[in-house]
Amino acid sequence: MLLGEKIQVIIRAGKKTRISAVVLSCLIWLAGCELRETGYEVFDEGAETAAEPEADGLEFDASEGQNAELEDERWSENRDPFSGEQKQKLLPEQRELIIQYMEAYYHGLASLKTQDMSALFLNTAEDQLLLNESAVDYVTGLRKMQKTDLHLDDYDYELNVTAAETAGDGRTDIWITETSTQNFSQHPEIDTTLYNIVHHFELQDTADGWKIAGHLQWDSIYWNLIREYWDWDSEELVIPEAGSFLPSRVDELLAKAREDMEIRSQQFNSTPKACQYEYDRVQAVAYSSQWVGRRNEEWDDFTGRGGNCQNFVSQCLFAGGIPMDDQGEERWVWNGAEDYSTSWVGVDDFYAYASGNLGDGLMASTDSSYYNGKEGDLICMGSETDWNHIVMISQVVKDEQGNTVDYLINSNTSDVRNFPVGAYPNSYQKLIKIYGWN
């Protein structure tokens, strides 16, 4: 077990210098940085607009070592609180290799251009190299097609190592979680935070130093790429004919994303539902911002049991004044961990409730135009037959003409705060318009 090492990293990108704290102790996290101009702003009549940053370039060269400057004296060593003994820690070369990888990944997101990671991987790990570069190809391709500028202006990160196991053949398996703060060009003054992304690194000691034999990231990016071959019970990932499969899968996912964007741009004539009581959007969004990255102990947590996203959204709506509904066929209620409706915790069932309820309780619409959302409305993700994720709009992003072009959202599992929904790998998205309640 690896606990509690700390390091400060100076990240230089373009003309901007940042000092970021990297913590190695229970899992791994990170973020990136490039300076670009943006024509978009978050719609907030009372907010000041940040000055546009000056455009500049950003390159990553693994052959020159890491772009961040590591200084050994910045590492502090934690000790066991009971025995006082020093905890096991990663070798400096292992730390450096992981940070090089993270920099390459985030520099790719900053520039929206996949960086060459070949110097970081074993020569015999071609499939793993292709998988990780394909993940960046997928994310950058998705972000480049959006209506807003989704380059990263800035980033910082926290890396926490949860466990490490060393085998006799010179290999070390390292499990890490990552928490990052990112600043997108569309709204550089707003911090976007992503919590607890899990990474598994497999490192190999070679005559040329430590190299990456494998890396897998537990998120929807990698899941969309390799869901057919993702075996939770196996320690090895085998992708048949990866050289042809992965590029083809990236093309397939990006083509689907373009189709989904066209659907989102369609306008629908929907009639607002009449309701007796208004929905308090301010309170709902405030609750959503408060409980990202942590949990309200007054409610059960479904993380690891199918996900906490719908449970989180239900709590937000309740905080916004929407009462529970235990009347009729359509129900939405929580009476405790042993007594609740499936619509409270399941996205499919909530979608059915929101679209079908006409009596007492929530008044909502699932057939509104996608870009007619407001703060406190919801975005469902998945497909018409399988909704698997739901998020709450925290802010509306408008262009210079006042047209809605994106939303910032808050979510549980995965936990993100003020994340641009256009950057989500789940590209089929539908607005759930919340009107109020009867």
Task: For residues 96 and 72, give the distance between their C-alpha atoms in angstroms, rounded to a whole number.
Answer: 11
Quick check: bond before 234 cis, omega within 30? no
**How high is the pLDDT of residue 235?**
65
**How high is the pLDDT of residue 328?**
81
Q: Quick one: CA dihedral 353, 349, 192, 78, positive or negative?
A: positive
Instruction: Tell which residue, 218, 254, 216, has the closest CA to residue 238.
Output: 216
Cβ atoms of 102 and 30 closer than 8 Å: yes
Which pair of structure tokens corresponds to residue 406?
A: 């994106």
Task: For residues 431 and 393, give the distance between their C-alpha atoms in angstroms, rounded to a whole number.
Answer: 10
Side-chain-side CA neighbours of 359 within 13 Å: the count stands at 10
Task: For residues 156 and 129, give the distance between their C-alpha atoms in angstroms, rounded to a whole number.
Answer: 24
Task: For residues 90 and 94, give the distance between their C-alpha atoms in angstroms, rounded to a whole number.
Answer: 6
Task: For residues 54 and 39, give the distance between their C-alpha atoms in angstroms, rounded to a whole number.
Answer: 13
Which pair of structure tokens corresponds to residue 140?
A: 């950058």
Which pair of structure tokens corresponds to residue 310?
A: 């719908």
Instruction: Give tens-digit pLDDT for 328-351.
Output: 888 999 999 999 999 999 999 999
Residue with tokens 């901007």: 16
What is the side-by-side order of every strand in the sheet holding 69-70? 16-24, 5-13, 69-70
**Residue 364: helix, strand or coil by DSSP?**
strand
Beta bridge partners of 214: 202
Contacts of 46 by beta carbon, 8 Å cutoff, 6+ apart: none
Mean pLDDT in each 10-residue stretch from start to end of the chain (438 residues)?
37 32 34 32 37 43 46 34 54 96 98 98 97 98 97 95 90 95 97 96 96 95 93 79 97 98 88 92 98 96 94 98 91 94 97 93 95 97 95 97 97 96 96 97
Cβ atoms of 331 and 341 closer than 8 Å: yes
Task: For residues 115 and 106, give the distance between their C-alpha atoms in angstroms, rounded to a whole number.
Answer: 9
φ, ψ (nearest 5 deg) of residue 345: -120, -10
What DSSP line would sit under 221-284, residue for residue?
HHHHHHGGG--TT-S----TTHHHHHHHHHHHHHHHHHHHHHHHT-----PPPP-SEE--HHHH
Instruction: Give tens-digit pLDDT for 106-128.
Output: 999 999 999 999 999 999 999 99
What DSSP line would sit under 90-156, residue for residue?
--HHHHHHHHHHHHHHHHHHHHTS----GGGB-TT-HHHHHHHHHHHHHHHHHHHTSSS---EEEEE
Residue with tokens 């911090």: 191
Tally: H helices and E strands in the chain: 8, 15
Task: For residues 133 and 151, give the distance between their C-alpha atoms in angstroms, rounded to a whole number.
Answer: 17
**How high is the pLDDT of residue 34?**
31
Element (H, E) at 18: strand 16-24
**Which domains does the chain show, CATH number per domain?**
5-260 (no CATH), 277-437 (3.90.1720)
Quick check: bond before 414 cis, omega within 30? yes
